[in-house]
Amino acid sequence: MRAFEYVSPTRKEQVATLLGGNGAILAGGTDLLALMKDDVVSPARLVNIKQLSSLRGISYQPGNGLRIGALTTIAELADATRDLAMYPALLEAANEAASPQIRNLATIGGNMCQRPRCWYFRNGMGLMPTAPDGKSMVVEGDNRYAAILGNFGPAYFVSPSTLAPVLIAYGAKIRLYAANGSGSGVRELPLENFFIIPRMTNGLEHDLKPGEMVIEIVVPPPAQNLRAATYEVRQRAAFDWPLVQACVALEMDGNTVKSARVVLGQVAPIPWRALGSEQALAGNRVTPETVAEAAKAAVARARPLSHNKYKIALTKVAIRRAILSAQSAGSGGAA
């Protein structure tokens, strides 16, 4: 590992200045330190944010919903959502992510900002690896885990977080903070807008401006008739990322779906809103036909590569199972 400076500020106002041009925020370190050891990234300074008490804590308020401080660990998130019993899909995703040891260290802020698991990227070839002949190494090479959706540009990696798709299905917002020469401020945006598909080799997959950090995620109170679930298709029961994930949040009106949010993970460079599936469900009863229609609509525009066509079938299965699981789970909504 290359030499680096280490600082541990106690006020969030100090972070942007300390980051300077080539610093990196250190939270649980479960992703960043691995990337540094592999020399994929080499920040000149690590800014440890774990002394910032205002980024800690997880709490629920009936009017405002669930506030998850950026330093909340995945284990703490699982404990809190288990006690609350209002966000069953979030609890499930938190329980499934990584291993107990990693869940004890990994923070929700770091989870949103973790870098893609693409083999080419992890081997130092960049997010959009290109061969000397100008062709994409992913398209020409081993693309079995690559994107099948949102791959219209040069990005073929998949967004790694399994918590982000669930949070987006619940309509979460992310709050970012930066202090710089012109002052300090909080920027709030729908979590789905935080993830972007980069078009340039040096582009990032998050809308994090220089000096900004994640301070919290806010999940609105679930509607009384909201039924949500996540379904992960895994190669095996182990602490690895799933091959495909589908998250659904169905607002029911009796037996009819009033509105639906369907978000896919591990299929695109961002958590992918399956708008076609949402339209297929809205205004309809959950029947085998509508479920099949929703599954089909999700992959209507998929562009599989040479080795990942199997993800189309898995996506349809994941959507079907997530919908059926949401339907049988009952309402986790606010009473």
Ligand X SMILES: Cc1cc2nc3c(=O)[nH]c(=O)nc-3n(C[C@H](O)[C@H](O)[C@H](O)COP(=O)(O)OP(=O)(O)OC[C@H]3O[C@@H](n4cnc5c(N)ncnc54)[C@H](O)[C@@H]3O)c2cc1C
SS3 223: coil
- Side chain identity at residue 36, one-letter code: M
Nearer to ligand X, 215 or 294 (CB): 215
At what angle are helices 310-329 and 288-298 packed, to 10 degrees?
Answer: 140
Q: List the one residue from 19, 32, 78, 91 that touches ligand X (CB under 6 A).
A: 32
Nearer to ligand X, 26 or 291 (CB): 26
Burial of 141 from C-beta contacts in 10 A (0-12 / 13-18 / 19+): middle
Using rule CB under 6 A, residue 57 touches ligand X: no
Using rule CB under 6 A, residue 191 touches ligand X: no
Q: Pick the piece of the chain touching ligand X (CB under 6 A) from 80-88, 96-104, 293-301, 309-317.
A: 96-104
Q: In angstroms, rounded to a whole number, what is the distance separating the alpha carbons of residues 304 and 147?
A: 7
Q: In angstroms, rounded to a whole number, what is the distance separating the alpha carbons of residues 285 and 240?
A: 35
Using rule CB under 6 A, residue 315 touches ligand X: no
Q: In angstroms, rounded to a whole number, what is the distance separating the alpha carbons of residues 94 and 107?
A: 11
Q: Name every residue whose Cβ is closer than 8 Å to that of residue 293 and which is 6 or more positions away in sequence.
A: 280
DSSP secondary structure letters along 245-261: EEEEEEEEETTEEEEEE
Q: Is 134 left (phi over 0), alpha (psi -120 to 50) or beta?
A: left
Q: Pick the piece of the chain touching ligand X (CB under 6 A) from 111-119, 148-156, 221-229, 272-280.
A: 111-119
Nearer to ligand X, 29 or 220 (CB): 29
List the structure tokens of 21: 């041009």
Q: List the one residue from 77, 113, 179, 281 that touches ligand X (CB under 6 A).
A: 113
Minimum distance of ligand X from residue 201's CB (angstroms): 18
Residues 236-265 that bind ligand X (CB under 6 A): 239, 241
Q: In angstroms, rounded to a whole number, what is the distance separating the alpha carbons of residues 102 and 39?
A: 21
Nearer to ligand X, 95 or 256 (CB): 95
Q: List the one residue from 12, 18, 19, 28 that touches ligand X (CB under 6 A).
A: 28
Q: Pick the piece of the chain touching ligand X (CB under 6 A) from 4-12, 138-146, 208-216, 327-335.
A: 208-216
Q: List the one residue from 26, 243, 247, 274 that touches ligand X (CB under 6 A).
A: 26
The residue ranges that bind ligand X (CB under 6 A) are 24-32, 49, 70, 97-98, 102, 105-107, 109-111, 113-114, 160-163, 208, 213-214, 239, 241
